[in-house]
Amino acid sequence: MKKLVLYVLALTVLSLGSAEAAVYKGQKVYIKKCRKCHGGGLEVAASKKKKSWKKLMKNKGEGLAKLHIDNPKAEKSKKYFQSKKYRKRAKHLRDFLVEYAKDSGNVPACN
The residue range among 4-12, 14-22, 33-41, 101-109 that interacts with ligand HEC, by the rule CB under 6 A, is 33-41
Amino acid at 82: Q
The residue range among 5-13, 17-25, 73-81, 103-111 that interacts with ligand HEC, by the rule CB under 6 A, is 73-81
For residues 82 and 61, give the distance between their C-alpha atoms in angstroms, rounded to a whole number. Answer: 11
Do residues 61 and 94 make contact, with C-beta atoms less than 8 angstroms apart?
yes
For residues 94 and 27, give the distance between their C-alpha atoms in angstroms, rounded to a whole number. Answer: 10
Label residue 59 exposed, middle or buried (CB < 10 Å: 0-12, 13-18, 19+): exposed
Residue 68 interacts with ligand HEC (CB under 6 A)? Answer: yes
Q: Which residue is nearest to ligand HEC (CB)?
A: 34
Residue 42 interacts with ligand HEC (CB under 6 A)? Answer: no
Which of 66, 76, 79, 88 touches ligand HEC by CB under 6 A? 76
Can you give the binding site for ligand HEC, defined by CB under 6 A? 33-34, 36-38, 44, 64, 67-68, 71, 73-74, 76-77, 93
